[in-house]
Amino acid sequence: MSNKNKKSPIIFELSQPGRIAKSLQPHIADNIDLPTHTLRQTAPLLPEISELQAVRHFTRLSQRNFSIDTQFYPLGSCTMKYNPRGVHRLASLEGFLQHHPLSLEEDSQGFMACAYELQEILKEITGMHAVSLTPMAGAQGEFAGVAMIRAYHQAKGDTARDEILVPDAAHGTNPASAVQCGFKVREIPTDAQGNVNIQELQKAVGPKTAGIMLTNPSTLGVFEKNILDIALIIHQCGGLLYYDGANFNAIIGKIRPSDMGFDVMHLNLHKTFATPHGGGGPGAGPVAVNARLAPYLPIPMVAKENQHYRWLTEQDRPQTIGRLSTFMGNAGIILRAYLYARLLGREGMQRVAEFATLNANYLLTRLKAAGFTAAFPQRRATHEFIITLKNEAKTLHITALDVAKRLLDYGFHSPTMYFPLLVPECLLIEPTETEAKETLDMFADTLIAIMKEAETQPELLKQAPHTLPVRRLDEVKAARELDLVYDVTRGA
Amino acid sequence: MPFIPHTPANIKTMLDTIGVNQINDLFNEIPTELTQSSQPQPSRHISSGLTEMELALLMQARAKQDAGRLCFIGAGAYEHYIPAAVWDIATRGEFMTAYTPYQAEASQGLLQLFYEYQTMMASLMAMEISNASLYDGASALAEAVLMAVRLSANKQSVILMPTTIHPHYCQTVRTIVEQQHLTLHDVAYDKATGKVTAASLSTLESATALVIPQPNFFGVLEEVDALTDWAHQHNILVIAVTNPIAMALLKPPGQWGQQGADIACGDGQALGIPLASGGPYYGFLCTRKKFARQMPGRIIGRTTDLEGKPGFVLTLQAREQHIRRAKATSNICTNQGLMVTASTIYMSLLGPEGLRRVALASHQNTRLLCEQLRTIPGIQLLFPSHYFHEIAIQFATPVEEILQNLAKKHIQAGFSLKKAYPELGNALLICATETKTAENIALFVDTLKECLREHDYVE
């Protein structure tokens, strides 16, 4: 991002009445047979610009952006690993892009073969019994999973179970998804070592417990050591275990959620399976379940019968929780995840977890050696770890936000800040397996240099960033004086 | 070792630094019974890794299986011409491999683009504001319904759902809102016209919201002004579900009736997103400014930096799950940013006139197709109403056979209405967008005639 001082006009400021990209206009006949009262009377505010102006405008906007392709992006819990170009190219073959979702099965066998095989791959690496690929993001996978837990209890006539337990370190989507499914949420505290507090859990479980939602490794960057005890406690009281697959990159190919006692889970294909995050999506959040929850999986799914792939719909699966999208979720992301899985193969998947963990532990070791405080110093890092700047906040009066913004000046995307909420002034750092040692060293050296700046020139941090297209932005003003659309009459 | 850059020397240095002998030692906090039970039995479904070239051969063969059809299916996913520049720019790594713009200063490109998108989409719908996208059209309608419930003081919410809404949208809404103590009330369409009449709503005056599709699933134009005014007379919120291309030609939701719709949503796919087996697409949602705090999903706002320069941020985050957790307006986190990027480029390239022409050319091609189909004996247009770019056609013969026979000639004749609307008999929903030439349409009609003749369905 070298364009610090270049202005970036809003696209409507480039617009000139009557300017059109002629070669993109389809031919039309003059007559309109629709009655006037059904027609639009005023043109929408869309830019009137040339093709070159559009290309240049959006290319320039792209240059005002950090991305994996241009920067190290250690955003904890988001698994910003390399998104292979080959995968993108092959998912963009004409036969896939031009394929209508409501085509006959005979016209869809190529895509359906890929979807079916991905279902089988995900079954094997999770140890689960059945998979539905349709949820369009992790949060929708969570919704589907919790809805299945509800359907399971209801089918048994077990209607008193109206509580979902969620550790206080969980992703915000967990409680939000549980509420959207009609459950009450009960938070379970974390102990000093970053594990679920077992005593508190035991107090919380009972005849109202429908289930628990857990991430393992947890969002604290440590492995939940008591997982088998937790599974026992929950199952003994008649509840089910939901696995939030956000951190699956840490264990893929090493251990299986089914062996930990989980009944239902989702995977974030845009994390573990390297599909592009796209500036905030699309993602995909397939759900996997054990045998007792299989009847409730969302539709559609793909079956293989006599070398023919077939859609499974409500007729085949009468107990399904139903449909979650117009067609079958983010099909193109499903295709990309399948391609990535085929490039990796079984051994490749195992190495993902190993090298993601190696990179995180190496970076943690280097930072600890330089005096940074790990949130859980006695614990191993998993694929990610937390540094807390609570001491520096006291002694140097700088915050995690200041460090994050200063990192941007050095060309690194910031780690996740202030999450999980229970660790003060924290940075959640996830390097992923695709980063080279040299990058990790540069990042560690930079953080060390920034802490030196904090001692000698703290203003450099507090005023950061200095080198980007804008300085620190006023978020309070943005929320208070809502400006969500461009107003031509007012201008820039 | 795909995409893992470590050399043996790197690994040794790193392990030495950490102070362990081997990588597996890093997993020693995991109970051993877990690591042992998961140890690879010979894999049944996951073969060894392929090279990119090997994978290319496999995928070219699979893509070819599904390629080369002449498509007249619409039903919620529409084939429009996508200018080359759209995806050339959208797939630049800087857009494609960024994440949600949490670090605003390092994401001004995407944030500005989303702000421009919000402006374009709101204006296309003639609404005051727009969010930065939801998953797809069906789930956007579910979110719109939940939003309407939040806006209403009524604890016993009833949502009026005409059966002329896409049946998959209705199913999705049902799945998503099922646990929310609200009633989805089906509203039947008029058998003669294929649309909903205000008269049929007369007993439903205590509802919370009325959903109005435009065009509706049959391609028919609903009486949006009358329906909107009826709803507002009874303090019922109006949720519009629209095709965004159509809104370049037809009266947009913000101008329906006296006051305009309260929420407008739908699928953005038609604006520059390929069919791609059904996704990823994106959902859009627009509303009145006064409802901003009940709107779900990411919203971008313009503000200033500490030097007073304009810039963009994610705003109203206090509605969202990462702040409000169990009390959030929605559980949505990741949305469909890349699709919005493509759509914004698409709308910018076409401009207001180009988009209107795409809409009008689609309508005119469908009219041409309709006129030619109606000359075939045994075929009739189900609803003699005004339509946009889809028509429901009834046959005297089983539609399954028609679809299969035309498929043999690589023509996708349409979407069968039999499952969702058994009362319509052998009916197909057929769509011709601007991508269909006069020759394509003639080929479809001739092949259909031939197929009907061969199978003695005619004369």
pLDDT tens digits, B138-197: 999 999 999 999 999 776 799 999 999 999 999 999 999 988 889 999 999 999 999 999
Q: Where in the sequence is the domain holding B118, given as residue range(s)?
A: 84-345
* Closest Cα in chain A to B436: A26
Q: Please tell me the distance from the alpha carbon of residue A38 to that of residue B222, in angstroms, as a whole number.
A: 9
A51 with B85: Cβ contact below 8 A: yes
Rounded average pLDDT over A333-346: 97
Claim to verify: residue B257 and residue B375 sit in the same structural domain: no
Q: Other C-beta atoms within 10 Å of A16: how many? A: 11
Q: Is A410 on the interface with B (CB under 8 A)?
A: no
Tell me the average pLDDT of chain B: 94
A95 with B64: Cβ contact below 8 A: yes
- State the nearest Cα–Cα gap between B168 and chain A, in angstroms: 5
Claim to verify: residue B294 and residue B213 sit in the same structural domain: yes
Tell me the average pLDDT of chain A: 95
Radius of gyration, CA atoms only, chain B: 26
Claim to verify: residue B219 and residue B93 sit in the same structural domain: yes
pLDDT for B10 beyond 90: yes
pLDDT in tens, A366-385: 999 999 999 999 999 999 99
State which of B345, B371, B400 marks the end of a domain.
Answer: B345
Say what the pLDDT of residue A61 is. 98
- Which residues have a Cβ under 8 Å from the Cβ of A242 and sit 6 or more positions away? A142, A145, A146, A149, A164, A211, A212, A213, A214, A262, A263, A264, A265
Query: Which chain B residues are within 8 Å of A182, Cβ to Cβ?
Result: 179-181
B225 with A41: Cβ contact below 8 A: no
Claim to verify: residue B331 and residue B379 sit in the same structural domain: no
Claim to verify: residue B448 and residue B380 sit in the same structural domain: yes
Q: Which residues pair with B266 in a beta bridge?
A: B284
Q: Please tell me the distance from the alpha carbon of residue B88 to that of residue A75, in angstroms, as a whole number.
A: 27
Claim to verify: residue B385 and residue B236 sit in the same structural domain: no
Question: Could you say which of A39, A228, A485 has the minimum Cβ distance to residue B250?
Answer: A39
Backbone torsion region of residue B23, taken as left when φ is above 0, otherwise alpha when ψ lies between -120 and 50, otherwise beta? alpha
pLDDT for A5 beyond 60: no
A46 with B44: Cβ contact below 8 A: no
Question: Could you say which of A83, A124, A180 has the minimum Cβ distance to residue B97?
Answer: A83
Work out the angle at residue A74's Cα, subtended by the Cα atoms of residues A173 and A409, and round it to the nearest 5 degrees: 120
Helices (H) and strands (E) in chain A — how many of each? 16, 13
pLDDT for B23 beyond 80: yes
Say what the pLDDT of residue A412 is. 98
- Domain A87-344, what fold? Aspartate Aminotransferase; domain 2 (3.40.640)
Claim to verify: residue B227 and residue B364 sit in the same structural domain: no
Q: Based on the structure, what is the number of domains in chain B? A: 2
pTM of the model as a whole = 0.97
Q: Is residue B41 part of a domain?
A: no
Rounded average pLDDT over A341-347: 94
Say what the pLDDT of residue B334 is. 79
Helices (H) and strands (E) in chain B — how many of each? 13, 15
Report residue A386 as tokens.
Answer: 């937390």
* Nearest-10 crossing angle of helices A51-62, B337-373: 150
**What's the first-to-final CA gap in chain A, in angstroms?**
23
Q: Is A430 on the interface with B (CB under 8 A)?
A: no
State which of B313, B345, B377 marks the end of a domain.
Answer: B345
Claim to verify: residue B378 and residue B444 sit in the same structural domain: yes
- The CATH number that applies at residue B387 is 3.90.1150.10
Claim to verify: residue B336 and residue B361 sit in the same structural domain: no
Rounded average pLDDT over B339-349: 98
Task: From residue A327, give the alpha-carbon distance in Å to each of A313, B84, B169.
Answer: 11, 26, 9
B315 with A482: Cβ contact below 8 A: yes
CB A47 within 8 A of CB A12: yes
Q: Strands (DSSP E) along A200-263, which ranges?
A: 209-214, 240-245
- State the nearest Cα–Cα gap between B128 and chain A, in angstroms: 8
- State the nearest Cα–Cα gap between A190 and chain B, in angstroms: 17
Rounded average pLDDT over A128-149: 97
The DSSP string of A322-368 is: -B-SSSSSSHHHHHHHHHHHHHHHHHHHHHHHHHHHHHHHHHHHHHH
Instruction: List b or e across A159-170, with b for residues whose CB sees 16 or more CB atoms inside 10 angstroms.
Output: eebebbbbbbbb
Q: Is B300 on the interface with A (CB under 8 A)?
A: yes
Amino acid identity of residue B77, one-letter, is: A
Q: B 204-243 residues with CB below 8 A of A?
A: 221, 225
Q: Other C-beta atoms within 10 Å of B70: how many? A: 18
Query: Which chain A residues are within 8 Å of B267, Cβ to Cβ?
Result: 326
Work out the angle at residue A314's Cα, subtended by the Cα atoms of residues A309 and A317, and round it to the nearest 5 degrees: 75
Q: Domain A350-477 maps to which CATH number in 3.40.1390.10, 3.40.50.300, 3.90.1150.10, 3.30.2320.50?
A: 3.90.1150.10
State which of B345, B377, B402 marks the end of a domain.
Answer: B345
Task: From residue B11, give the alpha-carbon distance in Å to each of A73, B2, B27.
Answer: 22, 16, 16
DSSP reduced 3-state for B453:
helix
Q: Regarding beta strands B390-395 and B427-431, do their DSSP bridges make them parallel or antiparallel, or are they unpaired?
A: antiparallel
Q: Is B167 on the interface with A (CB under 8 A)?
A: no
Task: From residue B303, give the alpha-carbon distance in Å to each of A482, A489, B55, B314.
Answer: 9, 18, 47, 10
Q: A 298-337 residues with CB below 8 A of B?
A: 298, 321-333, 335
Q: Is B434 on the interface with A (CB under 8 A)?
A: yes
CB A227 within 8 A of CB A216: yes
- Which residues have a Cβ under 8 Å from the Cβ of B114 and sit 6 or more positions away? B101, B132, B298, B300, B312, B337, B340, B344
Claim to verify: residue B128 and residue B263 sit in the same structural domain: yes
Query: Comparing C-alpha atoms, which of A10, A15, A8 is closest to residue A44?
Result: A15
Q: Is residue B326 part of a domain?
A: yes
Q: Where are the domains of chain A?
A: 11-62, 87-344, 350-477
pLDDT for B459 beyond 50: no
Claim to verify: residue B150 and residue B163 sit in the same structural domain: yes
Claim to verify: residue B233 and residue B381 sit in the same structural domain: no
**What is the CB-side half-sphere exposure of residue A226 using CA atoms within 13 A?**
16
Q: Please tell me the distance from the alpha carbon of residue A366 to that of residue B17, in angstroms, as a whole number.
A: 8
Q: Please tell me the distance from the alpha carbon of residue A254 to that of residue A341, in angstroms, as a whole number.
A: 15
Query: Which chain A residues are within 8 Å of B216, Cβ to Cβ?
Result: none
- The CATH number that applies at residue B94 is 3.40.640.10
Q: Please tell me the distance from the alpha carbon of residue B377 to that of residue B125, in angstroms, as a whole number.
A: 40
More confident residue, A35 or A20: A35
pLDDT in tens, A244-269: 999 999 999 999 999 999 999 999 99
Say what the pLDDT of residue A492 is. 44
